Structure 1
Amino acid sequence: RTRIKNERYESGVIPYAKMGYWDPDYVIKDTDVLALFRVSPQPGVDPVEASAAVAGESSTATWTVVWTDLLTACDLYRAKAYKVDAVPNTSDQYFAYISYDIDLFEEGSIANLTASIIGNVFGFKAVKALRLEDMRIPVAYLKTFQGPATGLIVERERMDKFGRPFLGATVKPKLGLSGKNYGRVVYEGLKGGLDFLKDDENINSQPFMRWKERFLYSMEAVNRSIAATGEVKGHYMNVTAATMENMYERAEFAKQLGTVIIMIDLVIGYTAIQTMAIWARQNDMILHLHRAGNSTYSRQKIHGMNFRVICKWMRMAGVDHIHAGTVVGKLEGDPLMIRGFYNTLLLPLRLDINLPPKGFFLSPNPT
């Protein structure tokens, strides 16, 4: 009864900050999941209130107070915006630091984690734009995920390549080749000195070349190039398909042909990615992820999500490597930004704050 009488449980619409989603004195726990959002409030909306709204809507809140909060440990489960800083050289953007209790998330589930962190808040009226810039995943939560299916050390051992980068390329044109001509390109590239060739993101099983035909000709090319050069070679077989059953079928066939690596596309979704990572570990297969589709939400600087976060989630999901961008070529890529992505993907456990230029907001950073 005492809890009902306090201001937190007044009837009507109450500001999110007043409901407990803003707590500048909050002491961060080692097990908390931390997120940093770039918040652009609507005109007239206080940045603290906008940040509290993001915290609320990505955890336990709705647009008004509900008495059923009293049936939960709501003081624990509320996300807390605990710090708001103005973004340098801007007049309407703010960095909002938000802490989430670990029990808000299902163990080992990227789908559940993202349903909260990016599930509903990006269409919220209190903000005109919102971008997830960084996350700190605590070790206690990180340990509930499988992690990379094989790992880079095992990949080097399997390919017998040490002391230098792998050299790879993508078959072009990526669409239109017959299976036999596709295999010819794979053979010429591998025989010419490449370690790997790969399918591109949108080569799956089209009328001009069905997946089984591509797999057969590509593996023939791999085996012939190994015989010709005496080196271990490989080709990334894209097993992306419409259903998990189809992907399993393609992955199993690739395994029977003797490939050491398969690939999937980011667009298949977080649950499918984790599922294929489990299959890859069980079947001793290297798993590559093409970041197809990421720029739809990562390229804009004030709305969407930083690719750095995708890098962390995909390490947790269990892929062995992912496209992380280059400084040259046709796609956008700032040198320091790309280096930051590489560090996020390669460095162990902890990363120091480095902002600017490489963009790490949260430290310690177990991912």
Structure 2
Amino acid sequence: MTGLSYEDFYDPAYEPAASELVCEFAIEPAPEFDVVAAASRVASESSNGTWATLQVSGDVADLSATAFDAEDGRARVAYPPALFEAGNMAQILSCIAGNIMGMKAVERIRLLDCDWPASVVDGFPGPQFGTAVREEIFGAGDRPITATVPKPKVGLSTAQHAEVGYQAWTGGIDLLKDDENLTDQAFNPFADRLAESLAARDRAEEETGERKSYLVNVTADADTMLERVDAVAEAGGEYVMVDVVTAGWASVQSVRRRCERHGLAIHAHRAMHAAFDRIDDHGVSMRVLAQVARLCGVDHIHTGTADLGKLANEDTVGINEWLYADCHGLNDVLPVASGGLHPGLVPTLVDRVGTNVCVQAGGGVHGHPDGTHAGAKALRQAVDAAVDDVPLDEYADSHPELAAALDTWGSETPR
């Protein structure tokens, strides 16, 4: 038996094994602690320690997390893979982002990044499709795919919602998307909206000769979500949308398994993410949330607008690069740029994030002075101009819808 105290959880010379999950934290210690003492407590609380010195056997001690590289307000913690249940994201997060967020030993703590080893990643399926949806579903070639959300986000009747979709699709938009708080309300029931929107999609495909699809929000309790996934498949949809943070990662994993049965892709809306990631020195970064989403198996996820649009700044480019990068053989994820976009911002957006994305605009489509159909045309025209490297003003000379959008919004960023 050996004593296990906080000091045993820090090793300045530690070299993590390739099989260990390594997490990087920003730590502001409480006044009576330094960063080493705080990091030791993080490693202890998130693995097999507690406030009292424990008498433990060697086998138990082998499961201790180890903090290292603690300096300048940063520390890394290595977790042996035996701490984790294979494929259980809820359990993993309870470890690496659980009680430690409320410890008195830290004033602030933020989970910044994770280095996911194969020993952990192998328990997760990852996306079915990822960025391949651009070509496999839409045949989009080199251009970004486009999406829009009917506005107002709630309150439209089923018929109005489907008509907005039809106008957007025939104007050149690829994807109609429910907003995060539209599910199965009386003014627009889920089953009716699914049927009428897909019927409008079919008409739009016939008229335009282009593939169109619909991101219908299935978010609910887990059992209801699975029933809705089945309904989408039966109706001929290609996608479901899940509010992944509010629904919870365990339910996302359940949806991923059911979607594989039907061959459906998953669009991840990140509503509530800012409760974890907006404060720079506390919580969980959007980078980590995106990593978790990829492991759990979403095909799209919103990652911001690279400092454009109406939402707070974040590391969109860095997050997107991680979503594209190799992760022990998992499929990649298609980033979605959304939040206050309009045609005048598209060239700058594409310059910053590239073309392997989905560009989504809500008000920037439906707020067009000539309505949704013209707004959809303007967004598609802006995308085409950016891909062809033609200045928007020049492209607008022969595209009146884009010209009207530029007259209305210019290249200003909304707030």
TM-score class, shorter-chain normalisation, is 0.7 to 0.9
- Matched AA of 2:48: T
Report deviation, 1:325: 0.7
Q: In 2, distance between residues paired with 1:268 and 1:106?
A: 21
CA contact 2:165–2:200 (8 Å) conserved in 1? yes
Q: Which residue of 2 aligns with 1:333?
A: 313
Q: Are 1:84 and 2:64 matched, yes or no?
A: no
CA contact 1:106–1:113 (8 Å) conserved in 2? yes
Aligned residue for 1:159, secondary structure, equals: coil
Matches within 5 A, 1:136-285: 136-241=115-220, 243-266=221-244, 267-285=246-264
Matches within 5 A, 1:12-23: 16-17=6-7, 20-23=8-11
Q: In 2, distance between residues paired with 1:255 and 1:188?
A: 24
Q: In 2, distance between residues paired with 1:338 and 1:189?
A: 26
CA contact 1:195–1:232 (8 Å) conserved in 2? yes
Aligned residue for 2:53, secondary structure, equals: coil
Report deviation, 1:182: 0.4
Report deviation, 1:156: 2.0
Q: Are 1:61 and 2:49 matched, yes or no?
A: yes
Aligned residue for 1:77, secondary structure, equals: coil
Q: In 2, distance between residues paired with 1:342 and 1:156?
A: 19
- Matched AA of 1:196: L
Q: In 1, distance between residues paired with 2:276 and 2:263?
A: 33
- Matched AA of 2:52: T
Deviation by residue 1:91-128 (Cα, 9 ceiling, x = unmatched): xxx10111110111011111111010011111101111
Aligned residue for 1:62, secondary structure, equals: coil
Q: In 2, distance between residues paired with 1:349 and 1:236?
A: 26
- Matched AA of 2:286: F
Report deviation, 1:171: 1.3
Q: Percent identity?
A: 33
36, 40, 58: which one pairs with 2:24? Answer: 36
Q: Which residue of 2 aligns with 1:24?
A: 12
Q: Are 1:105 and 2:84 matched, yes or no?
A: yes
- Matched AA of 1:269: G
- Matched AA of 2:242: I
Report deviation, 1:257: 1.2
Report deviation, 1:155: 5.0
Q: Which residue of 2 aligns with 1:354?
A: none
CA contact 1:177–1:208 (8 Å) conserved in 2? yes
Matches within 5 A, 1:282-293: 282-293=261-272
Q: Which residue of 2 aligns with 1:118?
A: 97
Ranges in structure 2 where 5+ consecutive residues have no aligned partner: 329-351, 353-415
Q: In 1, distance between residues paired with 2:273 and 2:211?
A: 32
- Matched AA of 2:118: V
Q: In 1, distance between residues paired with 2:184 and 2:133?
A: 30
Aligned residue for 1:245, secondary structure, equals: helix
- Matched AA of 1:339: V
Report deviation, 1:213: 1.3
Q: Cα RMSD between the aligned structures? A: 1.6
Ranges in structure 1 where 5+ consecutive residues have no aligned partner: 87-93, 351-357, 359-367
Q: Which residue of 2 aligns with 1:365?
A: none
Aligned residue for 2:48, secondary structure, equals: coil
Report deviation, 1:140: 2.3
Q: In 1, distance between residues paired with 2:262 and 2:120?
A: 25
Q: Which moved further from structure 2: 159-168 or 217-226?
A: 159-168
Aligned residue for 1:135, secondary structure, equals: strand
Q: Which residue of 2 aligns with 1:343?
A: 321
Aligned residue for 1:171, secondary structure, equals: coil
CA contact 1:149–1:278 (8 Å) conserved in 2? no
Q: In 2, distance between residues paired with 1:203 and 1:329?
A: 22
Q: In 2, distance between residues paired with 1:232 and 1:226?
A: 6
- Matched AA of 2:310: K
Report deviation, 1:154: 4.8
Q: Which residue of 1 aligns with 2:338?
A: none
Report deviation, 1:147: 0.7
Aligned residue for 1:133, secondary structure, equals: strand
